[in-house]
Amino acid sequence: EDQVTQSPEALRLQEGESSSLNCSYTVSGLRGLFWYRQDPGKGPEFLFTLYSAGEEKEKERLKATLTKKESFLHITAPKPEDSATYLCAVQGGDYKLSFGAGTTVTVRA
Amino acid sequence: DSGVTQTPKHLITATGQRVTLRCSPRSGDLSVYWYQQSLDQGLQFLIQYYNGEERAKGNILERFSAQQFPDLHSELNLSSLELGDSALYFCASSPRPISGNTGELFFGEGSRLTVL
């Protein structure tokens, strides 16, 4: 069974304090790794897809990277509006998406 | 706004009861997915439909069932409810089966079910 583990569970940052979130995975035949953002009381919102080790994607202050066993979501100079729960998901050989429990990021002004 | 509509937003009911959650996918999307999110379990995949047919099943209990109608809206039926069924239930949609998709799902805002 595919497994996704995210760390840390929670991250408190000062505005401008860069940091990274980790997503480690075990999957049979990785077809893709996905990052989503979820605001309180809302559904997850798609951010990135990564397909192969070494791939990187960027969007504003967020940068996602992928290795053979884990993915990192780097937040550079975060702002309070970056506060959210960030979810990692993997798609394995059976095409199902398996989500991690998420990292809740709080950015203080 | 993702374009996915879920009703009701909140639902409070008693153990042993039955409820139906409704989802309207984005215009043009043929795939509908149902997920359960609870505090201790994260997002758990329940079931997927594509153009009216069941395509994949996750850890969906036998007390739960779903279907996708010809107009592509979907309903998730939860019966013989237990306290542990209290959770957020999300519907998501995508244009194609996930096997032909980038994995980008569009989620609704969820239906919060509380079982007392």
Would residue A100 count as lying in a domain?
A: no
Count the helix, strand and coil residues of chain B and give each as a percent rounded to the nearest 5.
5, 50, 45
Q: What is the pLDDT along chain A (109 residues), one digit of tens a residue?
A: 889 999 999 999 999 999 999 999 999 888 899 999 999 989 999 999 999 999 999 999 999 999 989 999 999 999 999 999 999 999 888 778 889 999 999 999 9
Would residue A61 count as lying in a domain?
A: yes
Would residue A17 count as lying in a domain?
A: yes
Asked whether the predicted pLDDT for residue B41 surpasses 90, the reply is no
Contact criterion met (CB < 8 Å) for B4 and A43: yes
Across the range B14-34, mean pLDDT stands at 96
Strand partners, B95: none
CB atoms near residue B41 (< 10 Å):
13
Query: What CATH number should be reported for the domain holding residue A32?
Result: 2.60.40.10
Q: Residue B114: which pLDDT band, with cuts at 50, 70 and 90? A: very high
Higher pLDDT, B58 or A37: A37
pLDDT for the residue numbered B2 = 86
What's the number of domains chain A is made of? 1
Containing structural domain, residue A62: 3-94
Q: Residues B72-84: pLDDT tens digits?
A: 999 999 999 999 9
Chain A residues whose C-beta sits inside 8 Å of any chain B C-beta: 31-32, 34, 41-46, 49, 87, 89, 91, 94-102
> Under 8 Å CB-to-CB from B51, ≥6 apart: which residues?
B30, B31, B68, B72
Would residue A42 count as lying in a domain?
A: yes
Would residue A104 count as lying in a domain?
A: no
Would residue A14 count as lying in a domain?
A: yes
Looking at chain B from residue 59 to 88, which residues have their Cβ under 8 Å from any Cβ of chain A?
none
Residues of B in contact with A96 (CB under 8 A): 45, 56, 58, 98
Asked whether the predicted pLDDT for residue B101 surpasses 60, the reply is no
Exposure b/e, B42-68, CB count within 10 A at least 16 = b: bbbbbbbbbeeeebbebebeeebebeb
Q: Nearest to residue A4, comparing CAs of A82, A96, A108, A74? A: A96
Contact criterion met (CB < 8 Å) for A45 and B102: no
Would residue A99 count as lying in a domain?
A: no
Would residue A9 count as lying in a domain?
A: yes
